[in-house]
Structure 1
Amino acid sequence: MNESESHGHIPAPLGSVEPHAPLLSVPSDGQLLYKISSVENLLRSIVGNYLHFNRVDSYADFPGADPHDGRQLPKDQQGNSLARFEKSPDFSAANYYDQSRARTYACCFSLENSDFIWKNYANGSEKGKVGVVFEFGRLRTMLNQTLQPGNAALKYNGNQCDQIFSVNYGIVEYVDWDTHQANVDHLQNPIRYTYLKDKERFSEEKELRISLSAMGIGQFALKDGSMMQFPSSLQLAFDFKAAIADGAIQQILYASDSDSDFLQAELHKLRIVSSKG
């Protein structure tokens, strides 16, 4: 393995659209996706025109969160630690996976409108919770257009930077976390760990996730010489009104105890009017 690219100053690699698609499983374009959100967070996202992405190593702020999200498997750890970079023998594949994980973000959906997702997500809201129903193919097209190389830019601490995040889509694979080994034949691309979760604890999620990931080698330097830090969350530009008009958003479902009158009134102020039913 060779890590020579991490030394010296070279231009940061630009993000790309679905570079790891052959490694991941995706549903058909017409597949519906369900995202549970608090009423308050949905309104913030609509007003701010963004989809919220969490860094995968920071899911620890709610009951049932996965502290191992995106982490290399326990059975892979030893082999990954023994694999070293030729020109940086103190930097192992395990270090590379850990650094990649700290630069990877996810936005999560469910393939099923299940009791499980309504019970376990977006709890503690004063106004209740809603479920936004997306169509996968149209959502994918919208985001890919936004993130096409040359079309997108990254804002960091008020600075406009090159867009360094690659977008991928995939259905999460649920495995026996303690016994499954992925690196038996060869080292894994770090994106694979982003789409593996513990079967016993999380299989009921039926998760489809969208990931944004930056290269896990080297550091990203700004023009002033300071190093870019990766915050615990990102906001990806997303026009909810355009998504509704295009059909990327199909419905907004209400929990029985949510304040639907409040949400309808706020949506009306935003010129989003519900249809009957």
Structure 2
Amino acid sequence: MTEKPENPAFDPVLGLVEPHAGLLTAPPDGQRLYKIMTIENLLRSVGGGYLYFNQVDSYKDFPSADPNDGEQLGRDRASNAATRFEKATDFSAADYYDHSRHRTYACCFSLEDSDHMWSEYANGSPRGKVGIAFDFAKLRAVINDTVEAGIGLEYRGARCKQIFSVNYGVVEYIAWATARRNVTKMVNPILYTYIKDDNYAKEREMRISLSAFGLGRYVLADGTEIEFPPGLQLGFDFRRAVADGTIIEIIPGPGCDRDFLRDELGKLGIMALDSDSAT
């Protein structure tokens, strides 16, 4: 490796639309995606006009979380750590992968409307939970347009350049503790974002990732270094999505306070639930 990773300032590598599509397996057109949410989180997202992306190294705060989400494989780490940058010998490939993981965010969906997803996610709300069914092709188009527009990240009131690339892929489930991916060459860090232990295979996950380049430091015009937050909000108009079929169905789940949900969505301009039967 020849790049210098820790230069004090650099022209930021701008985000791209699906730069790693050839390395990932996206669902086919016509595929439905399902997202299980608490009613409160859905209403916040609709009212705020966003999809929420979690930092992949911060999934630790609920029982079914994967602590290794997005991490380089355990059996890859030793050889990654032994691989050093020519101009920065104190910085290894393992460090690069850790930096990349910290700068990567995911919005997660399931390919199936399954009992497993309903039981494992969005628990603990007094108002219950709800499922959102998306048309993958339409959702992809909307998000790509948003990222391509380069609206960018607002950080502590300052507008930044659009540094996040968007990618889509079905998660690959493997025996995480024993698998290796760097046997013949170093792998692109995006691959680790789409690998999980086979203990999580029932999730049938498809995820959308937002990731920034794992080398160097990102700074504002005044020299303030950006600290990557635990979550990002990507602009998304739920009202428009319902109207144009990007959102196919809103599914009341177990314990759902249907009257409250219907009334609150109505106040936000979404006039009806598309499904009237709980899962």
Q: TM-score range by the shorter chain?
A: over 0.9
The correspondence of residues 213-252 of structure 1 with structure 2, limited to 5 A, is: 213-252=211-250
Deviations 1:167-201 (A, max 9, x none): 000000000011111111111100000000000x2
The correspondence of residues 64-213 of structure 1 with structure 2, limited to 5 A, is: 64-148=64-148, 150-199=149-198, 201-213=199-211
Identity %: 55
Unaligned runs of 5+ in 1: none
For residues 96 and 115 of structure 1, do their structure 2 counterparts lie closer, same or farther at Cα, with a shift above 3 Å needed? same
Distance (Å, rounded) in 2 between the aligned partners of 1:191 and 1:138? 23
Are the counterparts in 1 of residues 218 and 225 from structure 2 also a CA contact under 8 Å? yes
- TM-score, normalized by length of structure 2? 0.96
- TM-score, normalized by length of structure 1? 0.97
Aligned residues: 275
Q: Secondary structure at the match of 2:210?
A: strand
Aligned amino acid, residue 128 of structure 1: G
1:23 paired with 2:23, answer yes
Root-mean-square deviation (CA, aligned residues, Å) is 1.1
Q: How big is the shift at 1:154?
A: 1.4
Deviations 1:211-268 (A, max 9, x none): 0000100110111111000010110000001111111100000114210110001111
Partner of 2:257: 259
1:46 paired with 2:46, answer yes
Distance (Å, rounded) in 1 between the aligned partners of 2:26 and 2:56? 20
Q: How big is the shift at 1:275?
A: 5.9
Distance (Å, rounded) in 2 between the aligned partners of 1:182 and 1:236? 31
Partner of 2:4: 4
Runs of 4 or more, structure 1, over 6 Å off, are none
Q: How big is the shift at 1:9?
A: 3.0
Unaligned runs of 5+ in 2: none
Q: How big is the shift at 1:38?
A: 0.2
Deviations 1:111-155 (A, max 9, x none): 00000000000000010000000010000000000000x532211
Distance (Å, rounded) in 2 between the aligned partners of 1:179 and 1:207? 21
Q: Secondary structure at the match of 2:160?
A: strand
Q: How big is the shift at 1:276?
A: 6.4
Q: How big is the shift at 1:64?
A: 1.2
